[in-house]
């Protein structure tokens, strides 16, 4: 396994509610990225955090927000949940250095919105 | 819109068969191409990161090639085994998209014994 852990593994929420997903990055990694994988699609980039600052964002509305903590763990928050937010949410951590970083993924959180 | 295409979507082979998949990506502003293997109920596992046109990488029975000028990469599996059954994802990075990985939908391989 990669050393990236996500919690919870599964979650059921009601439309309109808010949810927080958590990710512990691999030791030594200061960059965390979040991806959404809807059914039948490849993972879609939500945003990335580097040293507690947002460092890039995909095409997701502002109700998707995040945090990175001093220990480089991260949270993904989604407000006003919609049915289409039902998906697998993946967290990936990576080190910084020369060349393209290798991203290490967690197992994901399966979110179901009903 | 930056788009990554993978083909085939799925395939089924017999143990011992060799197989290959294709990943197509925009060739402009290329930075890197990643391949991942994703087994059910596990996390995606990085196989290769390639950056240079003509790169070839190998890990055991799996190898990959890269053509950045025409925008494609091939993943080859020699002598497929049942444990190779997984979804293989490719992801593309370019200077325009910053540090985001842009994924294809994957190729799902099933190997029968």
> Would you place residue B97 in the very low, low, confident or very high pLDDT band (cuts 50, 70, 90)?
low
Q: Which of A96, A102, A108 is nearest to A10 (CA)?
A: A108
Interface check for B47 against chain A (CB to CB < 8 A): the answer is: no
Residue A80: per-residue pLDDT: 98
Neighbours of A9 (CB within 10 A): 12
Q: Which of A84-93, B27-36, B54-63, B84-93 has the lowest mean pLDDT?
A: B27-36
Q: Is residue B35 predicted with pLDDT exceeding 80?
A: yes
Residue A21: per-residue pLDDT: 98
Specify whether the CB–CB gap between A66 and A77 falls below 8 A: yes
Q: Is residue A95 predicted with pLDDT exceeding 70?
A: yes
Residue B79: per-residue pLDDT: 97
Q: B79 to chain A, minimum CA–CA distance in Å?
A: 25
- Number of cross-chain residue pairs from A and B with Cβ atoms under 8 Å apart: 67
Q: Which of B47, B64, B66, B42 is nearest to A103 (CA)?
A: B47
CA distances from A57 to A36, A111, B55 (A): 12, 21, 29
Alpha-carbon distance of A105 to B4, in angstroms, equals: 20
CA distances from A99 to A96, B32, B40, B99 (A): 9, 9, 30, 11
Give the model confidence (pLDDT) of B70-92 as tens digits: 999 999 999 999 999 999 999 99
Residue A114: per-residue pLDDT: 98
Decide the pairing of beta strands B19-24 and B5-7: antiparallel
Interface check for B40 against chain A (CB to CB < 8 A): the answer is: no
Give the model confidence (pLDDT) of A26-81 as tens digits: 888 889 999 999 999 999 999 999 889 998 899 999 999 999 999 889 999 999 99
> Would you place residue A96 in the very low, low, confident or very high pLDDT band (cuts 50, 70, 90)?
confident
Q: Judge residue B107's burial from the number of C-beta atoms within 10 Å of its C-beta, 0-12 exposed, 13-18 middle, 19 or more buried.
A: buried
Residue B1: per-residue pLDDT: 66
Best residue in A35, A55, A89, A103 for a mutation probing chain B (most B CBs within 10 Å): A103
Specify whether the CB–CB gap between A42 and A56 falls below 8 A: no
DSSP β-bridge partners for residue A109:
A89
Residue A97: per-residue pLDDT: 64
**Token code pair at residue B93:** 């990075």
Q: Which of A47-61, B39-53, B94-108 has the lowest mean pLDDT?
A: B94-108
**Token code pair at residue B57:** 């990488």
């Amino acid at each position: 396994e990669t050393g990236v852990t996500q919690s919870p593994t599964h979650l059921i929420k009601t439309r309109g509610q808010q949810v927080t997903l958590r990710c512990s990055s691999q030791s030594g990694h200061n960059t965390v990225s979040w991806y959404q994988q809807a059914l039948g699609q490849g993972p879609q980039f939500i945003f990335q955090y580097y040293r507690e600052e947002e460092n890039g964002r995909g095409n997701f509305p502002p109700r998707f927000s995040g945090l990175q903590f001093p220990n480089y763990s991260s949270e993904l928050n989604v407000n006003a949940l919609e049915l289409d937010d039902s998906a697998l949410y993946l967290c990936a951590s990576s080190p910084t250095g020369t060349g393209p970083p290798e991203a290490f993924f967690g197992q994901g959180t399966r979110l179901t919105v009903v | 819109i930056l788009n990554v295409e993978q083909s085939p979507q799925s395939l089924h082979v017999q143990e011992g068969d060799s197989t290959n998949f294709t990943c197509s990506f925009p060739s402009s502003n290329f930075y890197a191409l990643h391949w991942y293997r994703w087994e059910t109920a596990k996390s995606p596992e990085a196989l290769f990161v390639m950056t240079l046109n003509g790169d070839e990488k190998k890990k055991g029975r799996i190898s990959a090639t890269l053509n950045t000028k025409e925008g494609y990469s091939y993943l080859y599996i020699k002598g497929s085994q049942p444990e190779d059954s997984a979804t293989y994802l490719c992801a593309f990075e370019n200077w325009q998209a910053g540090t985001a990985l842009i994924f294809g939908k994957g190729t799902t391989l099933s190997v029968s014994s």
